[in-house]
Amino acid sequence: MKTFYIETFGCQMNAHDSEKVVGTLVGQGYRQVPTPDDAELVFYNTCSIRDRAEQKVFHRLDQFKRDGKGKTFAVLGCVAQQEGEKIFEKAPHVSLVCGSASYNRLPELLVQLETGSRRVAGLSLDTEDTFETPFARRDNPHRAYITIIEGCDKSCAYCVVPFTRGPERSRTGQSVLAEARQLADMGYSEVQLLGQNVNSYRDPSPAAWDFAALLRHVAQVPGLRRVRFTTSHPRDFVKDIVDAIDEYPVLCNHVHLPVQSGSTRMLDAMQRLYTREEYLRRIEWMKATRRPIAITTDIIVGFPGETEEDFEVTLDLLDHVKYDSIFGFKYSRRPNTPALTLGDQIPEEEKTRRLAIVLEKQRAIQIERNAAYVGSVEECLVEGFNRATGQWIGRTSQHKTLNFLRPGRDQDLLGRYVDVRVTRAGPNSLAGECVN
C-alpha cells in the first residue's frame, strides 16, 4: 500500500478540495501519513492569490531538493494551474502537476506515474464537470463543506482565480441536497456551502434554482442547525438572499461580502462591477433584518493608482458599515491579471502604512461592536476546549468566537449547542459563562 502526505495552502475551497483528493486517494488504496518523511507521495495543494502564498510551495519543495530521493512530489491547486509545466523546470523533482479543474483525472494521472511516466500534468480548464467524489474525507468533526459552484466568471483586475480555477460550473440542486442530507445523517449539524462566487449559483437542472432558492432548500434539510456560505460577490448578492436568511434561522446570520475598496473610482479600476452606493445598499438590506446579520469583508490597499483620497474614502466606509471583522491585504501583482500592466504602482512601504491604518481603525470598531454583546445570551456550537485556560471554545451563528466557562460540570460539550451569557468582549472574541 502506497503512502501519501498532503499539505494545503489557501482558502476553504482548497481545504475542501484536499478532503476530496484524500478521499479519492484512499479510495484508490493509498494510505495517508502525518508527515512528509514517512510518505512515498508528497502532495502540496497550493494557493497563488498573493505572491507570498505562491512562494510557500517553492520553499517546501526546496527543502526536499536534496533529500527527497525516493519520493514522488505532486503540486496541485492554483500554483499548479498558473505555472503549469514550468514547475518541472523550477523544481525538477516534481512529477505531477494538476489544477483543480482537472482533479477528476487524478486517479488516471497516478496510474500513469506508477506505470513509468516520469512527468504527468492535468491542466485543462475546459471541463464542464465539477469534482464530485463519493469519498471526501472530512477534517472538521463539526462543520462539513459542500461545494456548490466551482470556478469564477468575473474578471476582477487583481485576481488570478479566473485563471486558476476556470469558468463557473454549478452542481445540480439535487446533488447538493443529497450531500447535505447525507452529512446530516452522518451527524453534522453545520454545513458550509462553498464557491468562489456562491451568489452566481444556478442549478443546471430544469429546476434552475438560483442561490436563494438553494439556500431555502438546504435550510429545510432535517438535522441541519447551521448553514453558512462563502464567498459572496456584491454584484450578484440580491435582496432575496437576505430575505432567505431572515426567513430561516438555520441560515446563519453572517455574510462575508468583500468590498475591496470604498472608492467607486478604485472599484471601477478593479473591475468590480458595483459602486460604493450599490454596495452600501446591500449593507442596508442586511441591517434591516429581524436577526442582526454580522458582516465581514476583504479590503485591498495599494491597488495601482489608489490615491490618499481613495484610501480615506475606504476608511470612511469602515466607519460607516462597522464590520464585525475584516481581512486586509496589500495589493500583490499576479501573473496574467489585467492589473499587472497598470502604471502608478504604490510603493511597498506605502501599502504597509495603509494596511496598518486600516487594521488599527478596524480594531477600534471591533472593540466597540463586540462590547455591545456583553449581557446578551448567545447560542454556541462548542468547537474546542482550551486546556490552558479551562475554557470551552464556542462559535455563534454570527461566526464570533465565544470562550466560556462551565463551572462544576466537566462533561464533554464538543459538538453540542449551548447558551452562553457574554460577560466580556475583546477585539477578536467574546467571553462568557454557560447558562445551561
The site for ligand SF4 (CB under 6 A) is made up of 10-11, 13-14, 47-49, 77-78, 160-161, 164-165
DSSP lists the bridge partners of residue 382 as: 394
Q: Scanning the structure block, which residue is given the C-alpha cell 491547486?
A: 77
For the chain, counts of helices (H) and of strands (E):
13, 19
- Tracing cell 460550473 back to the chain, one arrives at 169
377 pairs with which residues across the strands? Answer: 421
Q: Least distance in Å: CB of 270 to ligand SF4? A: 16
Choose the contact partner of 276 out of ligand SF4, ligand 5AD, none; CB within 5 to 8 A by kind.
none
Indicate the residue among 24 and 263 with the shorter CB distance to ligand 5AD.
263
Q: Considering CB distances under 5 to 8 angstroms, the limit depending on partner class, which of ligand SF4, ligand 5AD, none binds residue 350?
A: none
78 binds, among ligand 5AD, ligand SF4, none (CB under 5 to 8 A by kind): ligand SF4
Which of ligand SF4, ligand 5AD, none lies near 260, with the C-beta cut-off 5 to 8 A by kind? ligand 5AD
- In the bound state with ligand SF4, the residue whose beta carbon lies nearer, of 151 and 173, is 151
Q: Are 147 and 195 a contacting pair, CB within 8 Å? A: yes
If contact means CB under 5 to 8 A according to the sort of partner, which of ligand SF4, ligand 5AD, none does residue 50 touch?
Answer: ligand 5AD
Rg, the chain, Cα only: 22
Residue 326, contacted partner among ligand SF4, ligand 5AD, none, CB below 5-8 A by kind? none
- Minimum distance, C-beta of residue 256 to ligand 5AD, in the bound complex (Å): 9
Whose Cβ is closer to ligand 5AD: residue 142's or residue 228's?
228
CA angle 71, 73, 79 (to 5 degrees): 165
Rounded to 10 deg, the angle between the 348-371 and 308-321 helix axes is 10
Nearer to ligand 5AD, 298 or 379 (CB): 298
* Nearest distance from C-beta of residue 230 to ligand 5AD, angstroms: 10
Binding site residues, ligand 5AD, CB under 6 A:
49-50, 158-159, 258, 260, 298, 300, 329, 331-332, 334
- The C-alpha atoms of residue 85 and residue 201 are separated, in whole angstroms, by 32
Cβ neighbours around 228 below 10 Å, total: 19
Mention every residue, 6+ apart, whose C-beta is less than 8 A from residue 285.
Answer: 239, 242
Beta carbon of residue 160, minimum distance to ligand 5AD (angstroms, whole number):
7
> Which partner, ligand SF4, ligand 5AD, none, binds residue 47 by CB below 5 to 8 Å per kind?
ligand SF4
Strand pairing report for 120-122 and 377-386: unpaired
Spatial strand order of the sheet with 254-256 comes to 254-256, 294-301, 325-330
Residue with Cβ nearer ligand SF4 (167 or 426): 167
Sign of the four-CA dihedral 177, 180, 185, 186: positive
Rounded CA separation 334/159 (Å): 7
- 164 contacts which partner out of ligand SF4, ligand 5AD, none, CB within 5 to 8 A by kind? ligand SF4
User: What is the nearest approach in angstroms of ligand 5AD to the Cβ of residue 259?
Assistant: 9
Smallest separation (angstroms) from ligand 5AD to the CB of 382: 28
Which of ligand 5AD, ligand SF4, none lies near 13, with the C-beta cut-off 5 to 8 A by kind?
ligand SF4
The amino acid present at 385, given as its one-letter code, is F
Q: Closest-CB residue for ligand 5AD?
A: 298
The least distance separating ligand SF4 from the CB of residue 45, rounded to whole angstroms, comes to 8
Cell of 350: 506605502
**Cis status, amide bond into 231, omega within 30 of 0:** yes
Question: Are the beta carbons of 1 and 29 closer than 8 angstroms?
Answer: yes
Which residues, other chains included, contact 68 with Cβ-Cβ below 8 Å and sequence gap of 6+? 42, 93
Q: Which residue is nearest to ligand SF4 (CB)?
A: 10
Pick between residue 140 and residue 391 the one whose CB is nearest to ligand SF4.
140
Q: Rounded to the nearest whole angstrom, what is the least distance from the CB of residue 214 to ligand SF4 in the complex?
A: 21
**Closest CB to ligand SF4 among residues 7, 243:** 7
Give CA separation, 161 vs 128, 199, 330, in Å.
17, 16, 17
Nearer to ligand 5AD, 102 or 332 (CB): 332
